[in-house]
Structure 1
Amino acid sequence: MEKTGQSVLEYIATVTPARRREDAETLLELYADVSGREPEMWSSSIVGFGSCHYRYPTGTEGDMPILAFAPRKASTTVYAFTDKHAEQLARLGDHTSSVSCIYIKDLSKIDLDVLREILADSLAWTLAGGDEYATITIED
């Protein structure tokens, strides 16, 4: 995955529906606060904070943001390894999830303090270099 150089604020202004755009504006502040980094566009629709290089035991490797979300039409995708956050996900509120994504249709229906915990834990895991699942090297 690569950074695009596109303006994050210009991208957010184009997000529809309005609920998703408002949620993205809220998440910009939350992610910046948790990460201590400025947002950058990755790919065509991912808002990322910081950058790192990952390598799986299989040899697959690449670059990705340290923390990221994507405001999509159906829901906002929060990227996090969900198996590391089972207890927190039980307290989060209205969402669905997969192995590495949390899908949120309406940010007002989740507990932002719990989301902050998930993001902080994900950040700590990444900054610590990962684990047996993936080796992480911080690039910024």
Structure 2
Amino acid sequence: MAKDANKTIETAADVEAFLARVEPEERQADGRAVAALMARLSGEPPAMWGPSIIGFGRYHYRYESGREGESCRIGFAPRKAELVFYLAGLEDADFADLGKHRRGKGCLYVKRLAGVDIAVLEAMIVKSLAHMDKAYPR
């Protein structure tokens, strides 16, 4: 793989087989719930991106530096410690009523789905999809 090649590429790995290995059990159940939610909202089937990201849809990006590649439009990773959401186009106000979470650069971290307002999370996913549709038209 070239030095600048994207390491997170879509694979043929089975999403359900991956989810069946997620621990702890609560994270596995949360992962299945998020996968169903994102599939419903995006209209796209889940696909594995790299070894641990479940993504929905795809888009092509190109940076000013010339680097380009493909990535999922929205996605998440059910990590052992927490769920990591990959969403774009959100503002600080979008997180106000979500519930218990933390944020990183471009990521949303949630320990338990039961700790957040699912309607707010759903609105955030819808907003992220709208942002991606505008920024990267199909």
TM-score (norm 2): 0.89
Does the CA contact (< 8 Å) of 2:88 and 2:131 recur in 1?
A: no
Distance 1:98 1:123 in 2: 19
- Aligned twin of 1:133: none
Question: Percent sequence identity over matched residues?
Answer: 36
For structure 1, the 5+ residue unaligned runs are 131-135
Does the CA contact (< 8 Å) of 1:76 and 1:103 recur in 2?
A: yes
1:86-105 alignment, distance < 5 Å: 86-105=92-111
RMSD, aligned CA = 1.4
Shift of 1:52: 0.7
Deviations 1:47-67 (A, max 9, x none): 001111112334332210011
Letter in 2 for 1:93: G
Shift of 1:137: 5.2
From 110, 114, 128, the counterpart of 2:116? 110
Tell me whether 1:124 sits opposite 2:130 in the alignment: yes
Tell me whether 1:54 sits opposite 2:57 in the alignment: no
> Alignment partner of 2:11: what SS?
coil
1:1-140 alignment, distance < 5 Å: 1-81=8-88, 84-128=90-134, 130=135, 136=136, 138=138
Q: Which structure is richer in relative contact order (CA contacts within 8 A, separation 6 or more)?
A: 1
Does the CA contact (< 8 Å) of 1:85 and 1:118 recur in 2?
A: no
Letter in 1 for 2:103: S
For structure 2, the 5+ residue unaligned runs are 1-7
* Length, aligned pairs only: 131
Does the CA contact (< 8 Å) of 1:49 and 1:66 recur in 2?
A: yes
Distance 2:29 2:50 in 1: 21
Shift of 1:26: 0.6
